[in-house]
Amino acid sequence: MTSLVLRACSLLVLCAASTAAAYDFLGAESCQACHPDAYAAWKGSSHARAKDVLSPVQQRDARCLSCHAPNDVDQKQAGVTCETCHGGGQYYSPKYVMKDPELARLAGLVDPTEKACRACHDASSPSLKPFDFAAALKAMDHWSVEREKRKKEQSSSRARPAPARSFAAWLSHQKPPGFSK
Ligand code: HEC
Ligand code: HEC
Ligand code: HEC
Ligand code: HEC
């Protein structure tokens, strides 16, 4: 843990930021380049359109916005966006941070929990059925495609010999002229 904090603090901005309450949002489009499948799934979901279902009058009603666009005023983001659930991306979205799961969390990446869902999917939302977390999670899947691709990439990079090893293999097959085993 200490080393992790040191690692995080080596990013000076992050140390300074840890005193701030919330991190700035960069917008769903900022995640799109690196997470195209997650973005596509989210864009087609009702979370992305949650503000659009409100009438123009309701779109100015803070009571409705609190669930349909909770970051409309503070971060100028409509709907329920990536960062509503995963936290503002200001510090975690650079690639070298994202690639380090611990560091990313230290930099504000949030793992959304059932409790977080229930902040909006509760008794005061209009659904007639009680909130079923497992089913709801399945219905908003935007990770399976990406995880599948990642698995494939990892196994294909294992199948390919590492450059250093293939050079060693090449070298081991080079027989100096005039020599035989
Ligand atoms: C520059 C590219 C890049 C950007 C921009 C980016 N990510 Fe990532 N993200 C990654 C990489 C790389 C990983 C690690 C995936 C892996 O292990 O291959 C990752 C991992 C994640 C994870 C999984 C973390 C874990 O450890 O389980 C989440 C959630 C995530 N990103 C959300 C976001 C969100 C939300 C945004 C936009 C605010 C975003 N990312 C922007 C590249 C990026
Ligand atoms: C506590 C959170 C919460 C608040 C506050 C809230 N909603 Fe919702 N609303 C939801 C959720 C969650 C759903 C999705 C219902 C479901 O579970 O299927 C929803 C669905 C809707 C839908 C149906 C959308 C569709 O796709 O058919 C409308 C319309 C709507 N809300 C309007 C409003 C209006 C107008 C207000 C303000 C007076 C409001 N909501 C306040 C959480 C909320
Ligand atoms: C309503 C909340 C919510 C929204 C909106 C949302 N996510 Fe997620 N996201 C989750 C949850 C919950 C999980 C974890 C699912 C699991 O582990 O079963 C997840 C998982 C992920 C993962 C996979 C992490 C891994 O371990 O492989 C990535 C990447 C990701 N989200 C990126 C995004 C991006 C990018 C957006 C916007 C385009 C977005 N999410 C919008 C809740 C959300
Ligand atoms: C900030 C509030 C908020 C949070 C947090 C949130 N949701 Fe939602 N969710 C909504 C609203 C609002 C709608 C309805 C949007 C609409 O119909 O226009 C909705 C719709 C949905 C729907 C589609 C329901 C339907 O019948 O079409 C699913 C599934 C869902 N949410 C799952 C989740 C899960 C799982 C989580 C937690 C990981 C979560 N939501 C977190 C506000 C939220």
> Each residue's pLDDT tens digit in the chain (181 positions)?
445 554 554 454 444 444 444 789 999 999 999 999 999 999 999 999 999 999 999 999 999 999 999 998 888 889 999 999 999 999 999 999 999 999 999 999 999 999 999 999 986 766 677 899 999 999 999 999 999 998 998 888 776 555 544 444 444 555 444 444 4
User: By the 8 A CB rule, do 112 and 85 touch?
Assistant: yes
Q: How far is the CA of 51 from the centre of ligand 2 (A)?
A: 9
- CB of 117 sitting under 6 A from ligand 4: yes
Q: Which atom of ligand 3 is nearest to the CA of 47?
A: 5
In a 10 Å sphere around its CB, with 0-12 CB exposed, 13-18 middle and 19+ buried, how is residue 131 labelled? middle
- CB of 118 sitting under 6 A from ligand 4: no
Q: How far is the CA of 1 from the centre of ligand 1 (A)?
A: 22
Residue labelled with tokens 């990536």? 82
pTM: 0.87
Residue-wise DSSP of 4-62: HHHHHHTSHHHHHHTTSSSPPP--HHHHHTT-HHHHHHHHTSTTTTTTTTS-TTGGG-H
Q: Which atom of ligand 1 is nearest to the CA of 111?
A: 29
* Chain segment 132-172, per-residue pLDDT in tens: 999 999 999 999 999 999 899 888 877 655 554 444 444 45
pLDDT of residue 59: 94
Q: Which atom of ligand 3 is nearest to the CA of 81?
A: 5
For the chain, domain boundaries: 37-80+113-145
- CB of 85 sitting under 6 A from ligand 3: yes
